[in-house]
Amino acid sequence: MSKQIFFYGAMNSAKSAQLLMQNYNYKEQGANTLLVKPAIDTRDGYRNISSRIGLKSEADYIINSDTPQKEIVERILRDDNIDVVLVDEGQFLSKKQVDALSESTRIMGIELHVFGLLKDFQNNLFEGSQDWLETSDNIVEIKTTCSKCTRKATCNLRLNDGKPVYDGDVVQIGGNESYVSVCREHYYNYGYGGII
C-alpha cells in the first residue's frame, strides 16, 4: 500500500541528510529506491544530492521545470521494482509535477517520501510545498534552531552582504552565504531593522 510523507523544515535542518540516510537504510534492507530531484538545484552539480555534513548520492531522475506530467508518470510506472521514491527539494516542483508523482506512486503502491522547504524567504508557501501539504498522508517537521538564538527556526531569511532582503525573485539557489534559518522574531528583526 502506498504512503506519501512530506518532510519539511527551514534551511539547515538536515533535510537532504535525512533523505540520504533513508536511502542508505532502505538499500541495506534490500529495498529499491528511486532518488529524484528538480533540475533547478545545481548547488553540488546537476545530478548530485548532497548534504552539508558530507553525505552525497547521485539522483536517478531529474525533473526539469518543463517536464510534463505524462513523462513523470511514465518514468515511475515503467520501473516495477521500485519500493520507495525519495524526492529532494520538493518545494521546487510545480503542482502538476507533484500530482504526477503522487498519482503514479499511488497506482504502483509504493512509498513516496518528499523533503523540502515549506516557505520561501518572503514567508510564503512554495507552490510545490502547498500541494505536498494538501496531498500527503503524513506531514513531518524537521526542526532546527534559529541562527541568532535557541528558538525553533521557522523562516528562511535571505541576506545580501549580511543584511536582510525581503523582496526579489523567489527561486534563487544559495547556501549558507545567502540564506539563514531564523525564528519569527529574528525574521523581522535580524539586527538591521525589519520589513517596516
Catalytic sites, residue numbers: 89
Q: Could you please report the per-residue DSSP string of 48-115? A: EEE-TTS-EEE-SEEE-TT--HHHHHHHHHT-TT--EEEESSGGGS-HHHHHHHHHHHHHHT-EEEEE
The CA distance from 67 to 74, in Å, is: 12
The CA distance from 190 to 142, in Å, is: 23
Instruction: Using the structure block, give the residue that is written with the C-alpha cell 530531484.
Output: 37
Q: What is the grid cell recorded at 50?
A: 548532497
Q: What is the grid cell recorded at 167?
A: 523582496
Q: How buried is residue 96: exposed, middle or buried, by Cβ count under 10 Å (0-12/13-18/19+)?
A: middle
